[in-house]
């Protein structure tokens, strides 16, 4: 039996109809925003939240704080295009449902939460698309992950090993 602090991770799923309506709506809004490579279009789904999602570790708030600056800084181009490409790749992958105590969220890509034992060639390509160019040689690789709460709150978009 799991304790409330342990995460229970579902099997990977590609069934978008199984997502709660708000989660599916946010995923779609994110994918629409990243389509043309303009980071400013991502502002709409970011501002759907009462509190901006975490795009970097540590609290960085105050006057002039712009969460999109973290994505620009993380991108090799300095404009956020690399981050948008990674976000698109992440959100197009299968997802997992994550339960921690009474809380439920959804995580993309599934392989970052439940790594396959022996990824095949298409899976390896998908995995590479969820890494920054600068992180290709890192061990373990810091795959970018997205977490969205069951209520449609966008919690994070962070690289994690």
- pLDDT reported for residue 65: 77
List strands edge to edge, sheet with 7-9: 7-9, 96-100, 103-108, 143-149, 154-160
Q: Does the residue 1 lie in any domain?
A: no
Please list the ranges in the chain whose pLDDT falls under 70. Answer: 1-5, 59-64
- In this structure, is residue 48 part of a structural domain? yes
140 is a domain residue = yes
**Quick check: is 2 in a domain?**
no
Number of domains in the chain: 1
**Which residues are within 8 A (CB) of 156 and not within 5 positions of it... i.e. 6 or more apart?**
53, 54, 55, 145, 146, 147
Question: Is 39 within a domain?
Answer: yes
> Does residue 149 sit within a domain?
yes
> Rounded to an integer, what distance in angstroms lies between the CA atom of residue 76 and that of residue 115?
26
With pLDDT > 70 as the criterion, what percentage of the chain qualifies? 93
Domain span at 11 = 7-160
Q: What is the pTM of this model?
A: 0.91
Q: Is residue 100 part of a domain?
A: yes
């Amino acid at each position: 039996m799991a304790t409330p602090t342990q995460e229970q991770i579902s099997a990977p799923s590609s069934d978008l109809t199984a997502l709660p309506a708000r989660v599916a709506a946010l995923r779609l809004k994110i994918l629409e925003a990243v389509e043309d490579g303009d980071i400013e279009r991502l502002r709409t789904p970011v501002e759907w939240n009462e509190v901006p999602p975490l795009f970097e570790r540590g609290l960085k708030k105050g006057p002039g704080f712009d969460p999109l600056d973290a994505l620009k800084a993380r991108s090799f181009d300095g404009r956020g295009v690399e981050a948008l490409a990674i976000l698109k790749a992440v959100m197009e992958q299968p997802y997992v449902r994550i339960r921690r105590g009474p809380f439920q969220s959804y995580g993309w890509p599934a392989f970052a939460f439940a790594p396959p034992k022996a990824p095949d060639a298409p899976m390896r390509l998908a995995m590479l698309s969820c890494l920054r160019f600068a992180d290709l040689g890192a061990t373990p690789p810091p795959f970018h992950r997205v977490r969205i709460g069951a209520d449609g709150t966008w919690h994070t978009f962070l690289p994690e090993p």
